[in-house]
Amino acid sequence: MIENIAPVVLTMQGAALLIAFVRLVKGPTLPDRIVAMDLIGVLVIGLSVVLAAATGIRETLDAAMVIALIGFVATVAYATYVERGHPE
């Protein structure tokens, strides 16, 4: 059951990652790229959690925790950079 459903879920997450990456490349302003990067972080967390549950390799959960912690700090740092007046 899970062996059948996990590839579907992983494919959908991969498609979402690709779409978010299109916005990261296109994004006309820097805040657009920050939003896309934030979304990519959340999607990678979901991807590694599904991978851990489907394969039984539990070490990816630790990686997901680290990505969650660092993603927030990176977003706040980027936003501070934009707010100080460096638009590009």
Pair 69, 63: CB distance under 8 Å: no
* Measured distance CA(70)–CA(64) in Å, rounded: 10
Pair 30, 82: CB distance under 8 Å: yes
> Which residues in 17-76 contact other proteins (CB under 8 A)?
17, 19-20, 22-23, 29-32, 34-36, 38-39, 42-43, 45-46, 49-50, 52-54, 58, 61-62, 64-65, 68-69, 72, 75-76
Pair 37, 67: CB distance under 8 Å: no
Paired tokens of 88: 């590009």
Q: Which parts of this chain interact with other proteins (CB under 8 A)? A: 1-2, 5-6, 8-9, 12-13, 15-17, 19-20, 22-23, 29-32, 34-36, 38-39, 42-43, 45-46, 49-50, 52-54, 58, 61-62, 64-65, 68-69, 72, 75-76, 79-80, 82-83, 85, 87
